[in-house]
Amino acid sequence: MNSSLVFLFIAAFLACAVEAVEATTVVVAVGVTRSWRASLHGVGAGVVVLAAIVAALGPAIASIPLNPLRLVVGALLLIFGLGWLRKAVLRASGYKALHDEDAAFAKQTAAAEAAGSQRRGGLFGGDSYAFTLAFKAVVLEGLEVAFIVVTFGANAHNIPLAALAALCAILVIVAVAIKVRGPLSKVPENTIKYAVGILLSSFGTFWGAEGAGARWPGSDASLIGIIPAILLVSFAVVAVLRRQRERAEQLAAAGPAQGVTA
């Protein structure tokens, strides 16, 4: 397997793992507090809807000429990746709270409990609220997975490999969820999101430039240089922001003390 395919698999795996963590957290919270039957029915219905969407849109995306596809998808991935990377940098520098799956699980649990214990007919597995919440989580996060698989795979001419990476990520997260049966806090989601932000920004830069007609030295091998370069720049930004925050905290702490002395 050449380097570009390795990068494709890793990027798709990590990106899909993040979406799977978020969807599985909702499904587990609803299953524990409301109804596993309704929750799993919602998951099944969501998977069917996603399969229909991918079947309808997959061929249309794959038929787009390669260079325009790379330009558009590269721009989208760069925007998407920079958004993730911005949040990851803010978290790493202390300006934004770390994402807490324990808190997310508790929030979903409280919402489920607050909805009451009313049960309806068997169409929704006996609990329409649990069904709807699980269905929504699977569809929303699944659309992100479908976008990652189709766009990454189409650009690299290897949709099966991107789909395999997505399947592996989903199976790993589901296996963890079955084992812990609670918050997925053992999955280092903040670190994964940082890595995904780096990879999406790198692929977006690479594909966007190629779509615009640029030629990278070494073709796909240039990713070996692009990824570390963006990583180092992000580390530098984190260091600068962390120093600024520490200085601001020191000044804030020294201000009242100086006023008392005066």
Mean pLDDT of 54-59: 71
Query: Domain of 240?
Result: 3-250
What does the pLDDT read at residue 241? 92
Q: For the chain, how far is it from start to end, CA to CA, in angstroms? A: 70
Residue 258 lies in a domain: no
Number of alpha carbons in the 13 Å side-chain half-sphere of residue 137 = 28
Residue 91 lies in a domain: yes
What does the pLDDT read at residue 262? 47
140-150 per-position pLDDT tens digit: 888 878 878 87
What does the pLDDT read at residue 169? 92
Residue 246 lies in a domain: yes
Residue 125: phi and psi, rounded to 5, are 70, 20
Q: What is the 3-state secondary structure (H, E, C) of 157-181?
A: CCHHHHHHHHHHHHHHHHHHHHHHC
Listed residue (93, 62, 87) closest to 248, CA to CA? 93
Residue 259 lies in a domain: no
Q: Is the pLDDT of residue 124 over 50?
A: yes
Residue 256 lies in a domain: no
Residue given tokens 């794959």 in the structure block: 62
Sign of the CA dihedral 158, 163, 169, 172?
negative
What does the pLDDT read at residue 208? 85
Please count the other Cβ atoms lying within 10 Å of the Cβ belonging to residue 165.
24
Listed residue (11, 15, 29, 17) closest to 136, CA to CA? 29
Residue 116 lies in a domain: yes
In one-letter notation, the amino acid at residue 54 is V
Look up residue 237 and give its two tokens. 């930004």
Contact 152, 11 (CB under 8 A): yes
Residue 260 lies in a domain: no
Full-model pTM: 0.62
Mean pLDDT of 32-61: 80
**Count of structural domains within the chain:** 1
184-238 per-position pLDDT tens digit: 555 566 777 788 788 878 888 888 888 888 888 887 778 889 989 999 999 999 9
